[in-house]
Every structure is written in structure tokens, then in C-alpha cells.
Amino acid sequence: MKTPHTLYSILDLALVSQDNSLKQTYNDALKLAQHVETFGYTRYWLAEHHNAPNIGSSATSVLIGYVAEGTKTLRIGSGGIMLPNHSPLIIAEQFGTLASLYPGRIDLGLGRAPGTDRETAEAIRSDFMHAAHRFPDELEKIETYFSLENSASKVRATVAEGVEVPIYILGSSTDSAHLAAKKGLPYAFASHFATTHLWDALDIYRKEFKPSPHLEKPYIMAGVNVIIADTEEEAQRLYTSLIRMIIGIFTGKRDYVQPPTAMTQELSETIKHPQIQQMLKYTFVGSKATVKEQVKAFLEQTKADELIAVTNIYDVKDRIRSYELFAEIMKELNE
């Protein structure tokens, strides 16, 4: 069965690998973006996270600017900015500035989660919970600041008025599906880790979608973990770094991304744990031929308009190769 033409993109966390400096991490993020620009990817998004030693994308808008400056055609954006952490005015100013510097290339993906633990969320913004509950109102404020009509208001984001910055709603549960549908905005679901509500969320979004000036019909992006290598054995070896990252999440012992090792019996048993199995449900690991069949089945099930791939492995060269093979898969499926 031939799938419809599907765009393919990248979600990155600027992973900090063991023995790598932050400077090297950011250089590697740029190197990755420069390579995937030549592979036909549509966009490269960075995710806002805080208080995690293995994630370097906490100052998300700053890093977006760095990557945009070093690329030419790739869309660069946030996947996402966690809006309750911020003033809508400041985000409008930041992304209005970015879009003026790199016109037609900046995306603003917005989520309502903190992207961190409770204590850090409160350190970022003491009224975080209040802001999270007001996410739809905060979104309205952002849209207002980007509008030309706001030029008559007392409070303005002057660098954002009339600037074209597409807004995407991110979700990991059904709440955001209702909002994205009501607003007629594109919807990006975090199925690379939040798998439980995927089908309900997509169903809600499609059924409740209202056409808007932004979109005539629903537009769905779905996240998948992808680790592809030239052999099955090598892909499984690279996978061990991600498995150790997941173990760190569940045990509260987060650390820098560890170098890959041979797949052990212990690690193989670990990923059979029901919670981990559920979290990694849409994780496609193997050779190009193996992953192609998995991606094809996922697309036929979700009918997503765009896949956003997450490749959390240790070495940038292996990440680039994995993304190159994923691009080949998508091009073949789109033929």
C-alpha cells in the first residue's frame, strides 16, 4: 500500500554526550542540521528542557538562532517552547526577531508542560501552575502580539507585528488536541514518548477541527524514535545509549549520554518492562529495510502528514548516518 506524500523532520534535544563540552554539543547540533538540510528534511526543531545534564537545549530560542544562522533553507523552530515558563510578550519578541533575521524559516511550536521537574518549574516561574491552566489565553496573547491590529494597543511586541511565524500546538495527551482543533492550528503529538493517548488525540483533533486562516484541514505531525544503521547488530548497539537514558529517567539518575555497548541480556530484559515498553512503543530500530517496514506501518495507521524523528544516540556521526537512512526511507515511501 502506497502512503500519501509525507514530510519528514527532526526533533533535537542538543544531547550532551559523555566527554563532550557544551560548545562541542552545539557545534554538533549545527553540523547535524547542515547535513539534514541536504537530505530533504523540512524542519529541525529544538525542545525546551531544564535541569537535565544530558540536554543542552534549555535556552531554546538562542540555539534556534545559532542553527538558523548556519543553515540556508531548513525551517528551524521549537518543539517546543513550554509557554507557561514564559511571558507571551517575550516569546513574541524573540520569535518575531528570529523570523525577521531568517524570514520564512522560523516555526513556533508551543506546549503547556514545564519540560522539567516541579521544583525547577517553580524556580522558572512561581505561578507556573496558574499559567499552565491559562494556556489557551496565553496562546491568544501570542497571536495578538503577532497581529498588525495590535499596533494600536498600549502593550506591543513591535518586532513581531505582522511577522509570519507559523504556530504549532504540541501535545502528549488529549487536552491539546481539543485546543489545536478549536484554533485550526497544526498539531504535533509526542508519540516518541507519550504513546498512551495517541489514537484518542488524533481522533479528537480530526473530528473537532475547525478551518482557520492558518489551515483548511487538519495537519498532524507525529514523533517517532528512529535508530538506523547499516546492520541490525550496529543499530542494536547504538540503541543501548537510549536505553540507558530511559533507565536514568525512571530511576531519577540522569547522566550524560553514554557511549554505546554491545546489547546485553540485561538491557534486552530491561526494555521488556511494561512501562518502558509502553514509552518506547513507537521506537524503530534496525537496518534500513527493517525500519522501513515499521515506518510504513505507522504511517498507514496514523495517516500523519509529517513524521518528526528523534534519534537519541551518542555520536553525531552515527546520528547523521541514521538520519540519512531515514531520509532515504521517506523518499522511497513517498515515490
2 located within any domain: no
Find the range with the poorest average confidence among 33-42, 260-269, 302-311.
260-269
pLDDT level of residue 170 (50, 70, 90 thresholds): very high
pLDDT level of residue 131 (50, 70, 90 thresholds): confident
What's the total number of domains in the chain? 1
Closest CA to 157 of 167, 147, 171: 147
* % of the chain exceeding 90 in pLDDT: 87
Residue numbers of the domain that contains 220 = 7-334
pLDDT level of residue 133 (50, 70, 90 thresholds): confident
Q: Average the pLDDT over 90-104 and give the result.
A: 98
How far apart CA 199 and CA 189 sit, in angstroms, is: 10
30 located within any domain: yes
175 located within any domain: yes
DSSP designation for 264: P
- Is it the case that residue 279 has pLDDT exceeding 50? yes
Find the range with the poorest average confidence among 142-156, 191-205, 251-265.
251-265
From residue 176, give the alpha-carbon distance in Å to each of 56, 79, 105.
26, 14, 24
299 located within any domain: yes
On whether the CB atoms of residues 326 and 8 are closer than 8 A, the answer is yes
Strongest mean pLDDT among 114-128, 261-275, 286-300 = 286-300
54 located within any domain: yes
Q: What pLDDT is attached to residue 113?
A: 85
Where is pLDDT greater, at 130 or 329?
329
Q: Average the pLDDT over 206-216 and give the result.
A: 96
The separation between CA 220 and the C-alpha centre of its own chain, rounded to angstroms, equals 13
List pLDDT tens digits, range 281-296. 999 999 999 999 999 9
List pLDDT tens digits, range 58-74. 999 999 999 999 999 99
318 located within any domain: yes
The CATH number assigned to the domain holding 58 equals: 3.20.20.30
- Is it the case that residue 329 has pLDDT exceeding 80? yes
How far apart CA 145 and CA 157 sit, in angstroms, is: 6
Q: What pLDDT is attached to residue 20?
A: 95
How far apart CA 12 and CA 47 sit, in angstroms, is: 6
How far apart CA 325 and CA 17 sit, in angstroms, is: 22
Q: What pLDDT is attached to residue 3?
A: 47
How far apart CA 142 and CA 163 sit, in angstroms, is: 12
196 located within any domain: yes
Q: Average the pLDDT over 192-200 and give the result.
A: 94
- Is it the case that residue 233 has pLDDT exceeding 80? yes
Find the range with the poorest average confidence among 64-68, 117-121, 312-316.
117-121
The pTM of this model reads 0.94
Closest CA to 226 of 127, 310, 168, 169: 310
How far does the chain reach from its first CA to its final CA, in angstroms? 12
Find the range with the poorest average confidence among 88-97, 261-270, 282-291.
261-270
- Is it the case that residue 4 has pLDDT exceeding 80? no
Q: Average the pLDDT over 180-189 and give the result.
A: 98
1 located within any domain: no
How far apart CA 14 and CA 54 sit, in angstroms, is: 8
